C-alpha cells in the first residue's frame, strides 16, 4: 500500500511539472474554468488541479493562478505558456570571437567581467588589475603561490570567489588564482567552474548546460 502511494505521488509530480499552457475559458465569482494543456478544469478559489495549477482568486474580470512557484494574472481568453514548464537545466551560450576564443560577459561576486572559456586551465584565473577592479581582497585573504603561464612561471595568490556566473549558470565558493600583473586580459574560466557541466558545439557557438 505504501509503495502504491509513492508510485501515485511520483506520477502526480511528473504530471504536475509537464504543463505547457494554461488558458482562461470562463470566469465566475470565486471560480474559473481553466484549459490546462487542452483539459478543461473547473476550479474554485483555493483549489489545485491534478496538473498542479492552483487558483488563488477569481472574479468576472480575472483569475490569479500559481504554478511551480510562479504567479500569473489571466483574463478571459488569455493564456500563459512555457514559463509554466519546469526548467530542468540551466545554460550559457558562449560565442567564438575573432581571436578564436570562446568569450562571454559573466560576473564575479555580482560585478560584470569579460571571460574566456579555458578547459586547459585547472582554476579560474584573473589578473591583479581585474582583482582590484572587482574589489577582491586577494593580498590579505589569499595564499601566495606560483602558477605556470604562457610566459613562464608567475607569482599568484590562491583565493576563492564567492560567486561566478555566466548565462543562467552560477557557482559559489569557486577556487581561483589572481596572477601578479595585468595578464590575462580576460578572466580565464577554468575547470574549477566548468567541471561537471555538459558541453555542446553548434558552429561558432558553445552551449554549456548544468542540471538543476
Q: What is the pLDDT of residue 38?
A: 84
* CATH class of the region 89-211: mainly beta
| Three-class secondary structure of residue 3 per DSSP | helix
Taking Cα atoms as reference points, which of 157, 165, 162 lies closest to residue 128? Answer: 157
Q: What is the pLDDT of residue 30?
A: 92
**CATH assignment of 20-84, among 3.90.330.10, 2.30.30.830, 3.40.190.10, 3.40.630.10:** 2.30.30.830
Q: What is the pLDDT of residue 17?
A: 46
Strand partners for 63: 58, 74
pLDDT tens digit sequence for 10-21: 333 344 445 778
Q: What is the pLDDT of residue 185?
A: 92
Q: What is the pLDDT of residue 8?
A: 33
Q: What is the pLDDT of residue 208?
A: 94
Q: What is the pLDDT of residue 60?
A: 83
pLDDT per position in the chain (212 positions), as tens?
A: 434 333 333 333 344 445 778 888 888 889 998 998 888 999 999 999 888 889 999 988 889 988 866 788 888 877 766 555 555 678 999 999 999 999 999 999 999 999 999 999 999 999 999 999 999 999 999 999 999 877 788 999 999 999 999 998 999 999 999 999 999 999 999 999 999 999 998 889 999 998 86
Do residues 186 and 115 make contact, with C-beta atoms less than 8 angstroms apart?
yes
pTM: 0.60
| Three-class secondary structure of residue 133 per DSSP | helix
Domain range annotation of the chain:
20-84, 89-211
Q: What is the pLDDT of residue 88?
A: 66
Q: What is the pLDDT of residue 81?
A: 66
Which residues are CB-contacts of 14 (< 8 A; sequence separation ≥ 6)? Answer: none
110: which 3 cell numbers? Answer: 555580482
40: which 3 cell numbers? Answer: 478543461
- The residue length of the chain stands at 212
Amino acid at each position: 500500500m505504501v509503495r502504491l502511494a509513492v508510485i501515485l505521488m511520483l506520477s502526480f509530480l511528473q504530471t504536475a511539472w509537464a504543463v505547457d499552457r494554461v488558458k482562461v475559458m470562463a470566469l465566475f465569482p470565486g471560480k474559473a474554468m481553466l484549459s490546462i494543456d487542452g483539459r478543461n478544469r473547473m476550479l474554485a478559489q483555493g483549489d489545485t488541479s491534478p496538473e498542479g495549477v492552483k487558483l488563488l482568486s477569481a472574479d468576472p474580470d480575472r483569475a490569479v493562478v500559481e504554478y511551480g512557484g510562479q504567479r500569473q494574472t489571466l483574463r478571459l481568453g488569455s493564456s500563459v505558456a512555457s514559463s509554466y514548464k519546469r526548467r530542468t537545466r540551466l545554460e550559457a551560450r558562449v560565442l567564438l570571437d575573432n581571436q578564436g576564443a570562446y568569450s562571454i560577459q559573466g560576473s564575479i561576486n555580482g560585478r560584470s567581467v569579460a571571460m574566456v572559456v579555458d578547459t586547459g586551465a585547472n582554476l579560474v584565473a584573473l589578473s591583479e588589475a581585474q582583482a582590484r577592479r572587482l574589489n577582491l581582497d586577494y593580498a590579505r585573504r589569499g595564499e601566495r603561490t606560483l602558477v605556470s603561464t604562457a610566459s613562464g612561471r608567475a607569482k599568484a595568490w590562491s583565493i576563492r570567489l564567492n560567486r561566478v556566473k555566466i548565462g543562467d549558470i552560477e557557482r559559489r565558493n569557486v577556487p581561483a588564482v589572481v596572477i601578479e600583473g595585468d595578464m590575462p586580459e580576460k578572466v580565464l574560466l577554468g575547470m574549477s567552474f566548468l567541471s561537471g557541466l555538459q558541453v555542446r558545439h553548434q558552429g561558432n557557438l558553445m552551449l554549456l548546460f548544468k542540471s538543476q
